[in-house]
């Protein structure tokens, strides 16, 4: 039934009209159900729909708060179009990359080349694609065996296939206590329970993983050892070796997400190099090349190849032949290397903008990270800060979006640096700084 959508529309109208203002706390779902004369399950669907629309944000243990109506940029931002500045998404693109990519597509003007690229692709790709992607993923003396490469439509699908192969429905997956939010939705769809694993300044704790496995046996662990989202932590080589030992001793497998590992140079080798029989390494080209280009890769231990390949096929997650052919060509002609170099320069410039705009605040990031975690100053709460930023036309993500488990999320937000032009980013960060230096009641009274 669509009744819950009609109720959600009524709440949305109240937000748009200003009867519910950013920062206002909604009634509990039980009280809301009583007020509206609806079932508790319907109230839950209403709140879920409001979250989906981006109108409210919920934090465990605190409640549900109005996030934004139509964004109203304040004078400090002064965007001429009044457009929303999206610092939630992290979609790096650099000037000149389209021209570089276009040059590599000239070969498809030949009918025979285009005909070959438009044929359906398989989970194992082509020999040319496997060899090219193995070279793309190689670093610091390590290169994956091309025979161990499988392909999916994008990184999320490759991760989904890896989880499907490793963790049966009803079983548990260890994850960093604050993790990539897509893993939460993937696990829900696959019927997988998530167990938060403590982290520190070096990343996921091997001792905490072993203890969590002892208390509630796990089937695998998902992690981002390099430029972990949301903290930008990179796990040092010693910690990776220690983690590999835990995986072997406890008969666990890891899904290693290396989506941001193309940015650092000279860093530690991937976990897949340290524990090759225990690790499925996943990567893609959407961050490395262009947001709209999707092709996912998985380096899979020989013993798991058939299971992961079956999961890709069962999920209808096969790669697109044209994308895979194009990526192979861009690797071979050096285009992706050139774009990667431009992005390293771009992220350093954006980090300089960040350092200048938010000096003196508690930030967790890395000189080569496209995102930043901000532990907000008192008396700010995440939900009220998100609402205040939205009133100025800026979208940031509350800590609760990354939290796993039932504990309270900290008073923090994460924001991406990649999507807006540098000058817009500088103005937006300046506005966020001015909001944080004020009081919540002042900004909500605007």
* Torsion over CA: 97, 103, 105, 109 (sign): positive
Percent of the chain with pLDDT over 90: 76
Q: 204: part of which helix (H) or strand (E)?
A: strand 203-204
Cis before residue 219, ω within 30 degrees of 0?
A: no
Extract the tokens encoding 413.
């937000």
pLDDT single digits (tens) 353-372 = 999 999 999 999 999 999 99
Residue 76 CA, distance from chain mean position: 29
Name residue 362's beta-bridge partners: 375
Extract the tokens encoding 303.
């013993």
* Nearest one of 54, 178, 88 to 370, comparing CA atoms: 88
pLDDT single digits (tens) 181-219 = 999 999 999 999 999 999 999 999 999 999 999 999 999
Q: Give the span between the Cα atoms of 358 and 11, in whole angstroms.
A: 35
**Residue 266: CB atoms within 10 Å:** 6
Extract the tokens encoding 373.
């975690």
Cβ 42 vs Cβ 33: under 8 Å: yes
Query: How confident is residue 285, by pLDDT bands cut at 50, 70 and 90?
Result: very high
* Nearest one of 395, 375, 426 to 70, comparing CA atoms: 395
* Nearest one of 307, 426, 445 to 21, comparing CA atoms: 445
Residue 34 CA, distance from chain mean position: 37
- Give the pTM: 0.82
pLDDT single digits (tens) 153-171 = 999 999 999 999 999 999 9
* Torsion over CA: 323, 326, 332, 337 (sign): negative
């Amino acid at each position: 039934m669509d009744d819950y959508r009609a109720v959600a529309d009524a709440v949305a109208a109240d937000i748009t009209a200003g009867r519910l203002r950013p920062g206002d706390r909604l009634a509990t779902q039980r009280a809301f159900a009583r007020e509206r004369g609806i079932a508790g399950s319907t109230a839950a669907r209403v709140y879920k729909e409001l979250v989906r629309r981006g109108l409210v944000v919920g934090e465990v243990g605190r409640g549900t708060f109005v996030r934004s109506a139509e964004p109203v940029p304040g004078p400090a931002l002064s965007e001429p179009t009044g457009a929303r500045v999206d610092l939630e998404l992290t979609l790096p693109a650099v000037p000149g990359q389209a021209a570089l990519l276009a040059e590599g597509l000239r070969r498809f003007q030949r009918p025979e080349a285009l005909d070959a690229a438009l044929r359906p692709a398989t989970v194992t790709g082509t020999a040319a694609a496997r060899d090219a992607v193995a070279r793309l993923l190689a670093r610091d003396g390590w290169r994956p065996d091309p025979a161990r490469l499988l392909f999916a439509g994008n990184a999320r699908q490759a991760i989904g296939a890896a989880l499907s192969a490793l963790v049966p429905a009803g079983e548990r997956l260890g994850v960093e206590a604050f993790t990539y939010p897509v893993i939460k939705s993937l696990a829900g769809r696959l019927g997988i329970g998530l167990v938060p694993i403590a982290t520190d300044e070096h990343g996921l704790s091997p001792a905490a993983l072993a203890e969590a496995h002892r208390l509630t046996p796990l089937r695998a662990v998902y992690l981002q050892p390099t430029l972990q989202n949301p903290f930008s932590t990179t796990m040092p080589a010693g910690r990776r070796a220690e983690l590999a030992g835990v995986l072997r001793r406890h008969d666990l497998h890891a899904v290693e997400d290396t989506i941001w590992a193309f940015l650092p140079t000279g860093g530690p080798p991937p976990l897949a190099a340290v524990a090759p029989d225990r690790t499925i390494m996943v990567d893609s080209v959407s961050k490395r090349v262009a947001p709209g280009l999707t092709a996912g890769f998985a380096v899979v231990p020989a013993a798991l190849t058939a299971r992961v390949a079956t999961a890709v096929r069962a999920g209808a997650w096969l790669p697109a032949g044209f994308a895979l052919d194009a990526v192979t060509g861009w690797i071979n002609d050096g285009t992706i290397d050139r774009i990667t170099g431009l992005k390293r320069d771009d992220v350093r410039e954006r980090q300089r903008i960040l350092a200048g705009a938010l000096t003196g605040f508690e930030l967790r990031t890395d000189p080569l990270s496209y995102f930043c975690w901000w532990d907000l100053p008192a008396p700010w709460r995440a939900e009220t800060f998100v609402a205040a930023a939205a009133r100025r036309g800026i979208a940031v993500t509350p800590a609760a979006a990354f939290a796993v488990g039932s504990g309270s999320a900290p008073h923090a937000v994460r924001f991406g640096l990649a999507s807006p032009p540098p000058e817009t980013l500088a103005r937006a960060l300046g506005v966020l700084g001015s909001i944080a230096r004020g009081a919540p009641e002042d900004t909500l009274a605007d």
